[in-house]
Amino acid sequence: MFLYYITDRKQFSGSESRRRELLLAKIAEAARAGVDYIQLREKDLPARELEALTREAVRICRETRNQKPETKILINSRSDVALAAGADGVHLPSGDIPASDARAIWSSALTRNPKIETRSWLVAVSCHTVDEVRLAEAHGADFAIFGPVFEKAGTSLSVGLDALRAACRRFAGGDRKTEAVAFGRMPVLAIGGITLEKARACLEAGARGLAAIRLFQENDVTTVVEGLRKTQSLSA
């Protein structure tokens, strides 16, 4: 099961410098707890400030040791910033450039600068429909973040567990009775209203992991990760 923490420093209180300090502390906490991926989703920051924040996040994850491979840092949308700061990849919102274009940007940068730090390149894509998941996979995305599965506070927007189940199976040709026609193997992670109580339903629907902001950011990450791993064992 992949665990994917999406940041939002604006949820922290205090001055801008204090918010960044708290965010970096939470990133270190998530890395120590064994979260697989952290998406820096600070969309309002100018490129230079986002690059500086990314460099700090990357440094923290490289220096924080745990029993899993080191936590990977992905940057929301900005492939240029991700490459400049030595991040592990990019997260593409729905409607952004295709995953194949993001990978081409990395390949081109690597050709121009063989000493570039990022020797491999992860591409995640936000998807809201089965067709979007199929398209992301066709363009070579490493995994999809699908949702919102459950309604979030203050909204009525959700795709539901049936849609998640369909996205995880991604049947080709519409024959949903035959497992052999499954479209592909790209992991799909569930997002949207995810809680410890709802995590099991997502995993049983076929999700290979869980993505969230508040679940990780507003709680003790180690406790959350332990609870999710326990849920995973119960749903296996």
- CATH code, 68: 3.20.20.70
Q: Could you give the CA distance from residue 111 to residue 113 in angstroms, rounded to a whole number?
A: 6
Query: How many domains is the chain partitioned into structurally?
Result: 1
Confidence at 170, pLDDT banded by 50, 70, 90: confident
Instruction: Note down the domain range covering 219.
Output: 2-235
Q: What pLDDT is attached to residue 154? A: 62
Q: What global pTM score does this model have? A: 0.90
Beta bridge partners of 5: 38, 212
Task: Specify whether the CB–CB gap between 59 and 26 falls below 8 A.
Answer: no
**DSSP H helical ranges for the chain:** 16-33, 47-63, 79-85, 99-112, 130-138, 160-169, 196-204, 214-217, 221-235
The model's pLDDT over 125-134, given as tens digits with 9 standing for 90+, comes to 999 999 999 9
Confidence at 184, pLDDT banded by 50, 70, 90: low
